[in-house]
Structure 1
Amino acid sequence: MPIRPVTADELPLLQDIERAAGAPFRDLGMAAVADDEPPAPDVLERYRREGRAWVAVDDADAPVAYLVCEPVDGALHVEQVSVRPDAARRGVGRALLAYAADRAREEGLAGLTLTTFTQVPWNAPYYARLGFRVLEEAELTPGLRKIRAHERELGLDRWPRVCMRLPDGARPASPRP
């Protein structure tokens, strides 16, 4: 599936993808996550303007998934990666992560980082299968600590969360079942 920078007129579509991708959290008893509003258009526009927002598109060039990220303490931090449910389980998220890993390498950044839920099958277990590893508390950089503190303020720690890293130079592996 092709990946390209998001265009300004596609920002509302990213919000739609985010809402659709959040819906399955409801089945896990995480209605607050499912009901959480996607990033505001001005936030998404900032990522787009900085060249840090990419979409995976279908044959009609319509976005089916997106990833936004920013440098944090020498790594490229994945702020959000979301895949429309009807495009899930096809390697779209992995392809976006691989694209981001390539961009990190081109910029001389030390791999990818992200924060995620530990007990959601398509979160930490999935990222581990791709080659991300959980960072111990002592390994968290100041920027990652700040991100985790903000997540706690938002109430996301009602469910266990971790920071993970894909090592510098690595690309996400094909997930094993």
Structure 2
Amino acid sequence: MRILESGYTIRFACAEQLTLLSQVEQLANRLFLDTPYSFLVSAEPLPLDLIRERFQAGQVWVAINNQDAVVGFAITREVDDTLYLQEIDVNPEHGQKGIGSALVNAVCSWAKLQDYRAVALSTFRHIPWNAPFYSKLGFRISDESELTIGLQQIRLQEREAGLPISDRVIMQLEL
């Protein structure tokens, strides 16, 4: 558990919090409203079965406020010996308070303890709270030739889901 100066706490999720994550995800998706990716505002949230699976694997973190409300979360999974940050969202009402950075740091700290060599993610290249945000945390954009088979499959799945692949990048942070 990690308590931020702003009064938020980052910790592993509890089972009863899992159903709340879709609300945070949908609120966070509203940030895309005034971008070329406004279609994401109506995107379906992660399936609860997937969230439960990742929870059972010990790979769901939450950010909670001082009223014990979930205001952010991160979910990971393993992809080719790399910890893949599958989803991270913060309720925009609680944005700009270090919650996203703290969630990423919690994930990276855990990954290091689990002997992962790197943390990877897929994100939009030019959206400020996407690639530019992760760059500030030490992630670097991976060249397509560096991608493992699993990361290449993620790119393919994103294309099949209708995401504009030319606007997306895989980023990695070596641990």
TM-score, structure 1 as length reference? 0.91
Alignment of 1:92-131 (within 5 A): 92-131=99-138
* Secondary structure at 2:40 match in 1: helix
Match of 2:76 among 62, 66, 69: 69
The match for 2:159 is 152
Say what the alpha-carbon RMSD is for the aligned residues.
1.1
Distance between the aligned counterparts of 1:158 and 1:136, measured in 2?
A: 14
Distance between the aligned counterparts of 1:108 and 1:159, measured in 2?
A: 32
The match for 1:6 is 13
Is 1:81 the counterpart of 2:99 in the alignment?
A: no
* Secondary structure at 1:152 match in 2: helix
Paired residue total: 168
The match for 1:18 is 25
* Secondary structure at 1:116 match in 2: strand
* Secondary structure at 1:156 match in 2: coil
Is 1:53 the counterpart of 2:60 in the alignment?
A: yes
Deviations for 1:21-77, whole angstroms, at most 9, x for unmatched residues?
000101113221111011011111111111010101111221110000011111110
Distance between the aligned counterparts of 2:60 and 2:30, measured in 1?
A: 22
Letter of the 1:134 partner, please give it: I
Letter of the 2:43 partner, please give it: D
Deviates more, 1:14-23 or 1:66-75: 66-75
Kindly state the Cα deviation for residue 91 of structure 1 after the two structures are TM-superposed.
0.8
Match of 2:171 among 156, 164, 171: 164
TM-score, structure 2 as length reference? 0.92
Letter of the 2:107 partner, please give it: A
Q: Using the aligned pairs only, state the percent identity.
A: 36
* Secondary structure at 1:18 match in 2: helix
Consecutive unaligned residues in structure 2, runs of 5 or more: 1-7
Deviates more, 1:84-93 or 1:27-36: 27-36
Which stretches of structure 1, 4 residues or longer, exceed 4 Å deviation after superposition? none
Alignment of 1:131-142 (within 5 A): 131-142=138-149
Kindly state the Cα deviation for residue 158 of structure 1 after the two structures are TM-superposed.
6.1
Contact 2:155 2:165 in 1 (8 A): no
